[in-house]
Amino acid sequence: MSGRTNPWAWYSAPDVWSLEQERVFARSWQYAGHAGMAARAGDFFTARAGRIPVVVARAEDGVTRAFANVCRHRGSIVVEGAGNRKTLQCPYHAWTYGLDGRLRAAPRADFDLDGVGLAPVRLEHWGPFLFVNPDAGAEPLADWLGPVPAQVAELGVDVDSLEFHHRSEWSVAANWKVVAENFLECYHCAVAHPGFSALVDVSPEAYRLEVGRLHSTQIGPARDGARRSQFHFVWPNTGINVFPGEPNLSIGPFVPGAPDRTDRFLDYFFGAGVPGAWVSELLELDDTVGREDTALVERVQVGVSSGAIAHGRLLRDAEKLVAHFQGLVRKALA
């Protein structure tokens, strides 16, 4: 018999959302951006680890570091967006930090500036992909990712040779778990994604599902016999997509913006020399799938938030990645 989902109340309750920030996102590796965003001394960009604002900066010593983007004075966000500068200055009272996080100036300060720098955040990378983790004691990123980098390499995708193309950003009116669970199954693909299903064989006999410790993988062969596709999910909120055909990869997080809002971005990368027409065709397909998924998950959010039923059902085979994810949620919140 199929199993129950986690309680639907968990997908809209503010207290559960807050608990997830503490027990999931403050303790996990999450994709923040790519190395090209901090390639030169002075480069910085901002991101979020759950609700924790983060700034990643490359200092004059050539080291790229990450910090909580929160002023040590009165808690203001220090910087927004991305750019290149010699210091990070809070717009509230002009407390000024070096790109190494040290407090350099605080007008009328009546204390020693040493030891009052920006709070550090763990920063590690897989190829050009930068991940952050607010937990200073977390296991290394490589252990967290498990076999995912090797699986991508098996497809012939050399992540270090990929070239960044663009970032796409949008928001979805649904809880982050609803959005993640939609990514974790292709049970809906034949019904909801005709374009994707014409490219990838989504039949139960061909479409493989694999579950690891902190990741899960979907592998689908291309219908024209070209290279397979891979779709990886790394707990708690990083999605990685490799479509069939030319070297390509997109990566991005499902960031919890509110109990009923998920903020998303995807960074797209392609191999050198991939024809522009092929890139355009893939991006058009991916955009279509994204809009189809947005409509689906927003309908789910309305239903699960209604209180009409307490929980749903999960299919043992077709939705085993969803079951794995929900188990990780239960473990984190226990």
Rounded Cα gap, residues 137 and 214, in angstroms: 17
User: 91 and 76 in contact (C-beta within 8 Å)?
Assistant: yes
Whether the Cβ atoms of residue 31 and residue 252 lie closer than 8 Å to each other: yes
Instruction: For residues 29 and 130, give the distance between their C-alpha atoms in angstroms, rounded to a whole number.
Output: 10
Tell me the helix, strand and coil percentages in the chain, rounded to 5: 30, 30, 40
Which of 233, 269, 209 shows the shortest CA–CA distance to 144?
A: 233
Provide CB contacts within 8 A for 10, sequence distance 6+.
Answer: 16, 177, 329, 333
| pTM (two decimals) | 0.97
Question: Which residues, including other chains, have CB under 8 Å from residue 106's CB and lie 6 or more apart?
Answer: 73, 93, 95, 96, 113, 116
Location of structure tokens 């040590």: 72
pLDDT tens, the chain, 334 aa long: 359 999 999 999 999 999 999 999 999 999 999 999 999 999 999 999 999 999 999 999 999 999 999 999 999 999 999 999 999 999 999 999 999 999 999 999 999 999 899 999 999 999 999 999 999 999 999 999 999 999 999 999 999 999 999 999 999 999 999 999 999 999 999 999 999 999 999 999 999 999 999 999 999 999 988 789 999 999 999 999 999 999 999 999 999 999 999 999 999 999 999 999 999 999 999 999 999 999 999 999 999 999 999 999 999 999 999 999 999 999 999 9
Give me the domains of the chain, ranges plus CATH numbers.
Answer: 33-137 (2.102.10.10), 142-333 (3.90.380.10)
Separation of alpha carbons 163 and 156, rounded Å:
15
Exposure string of 86-104, with b = 16+ CB inside 10 Å and e = fewer, is eebbbeeeebbbbbbbbbb
What is the rounded CA–CA span in Å between residue 97 and residue 105?
7
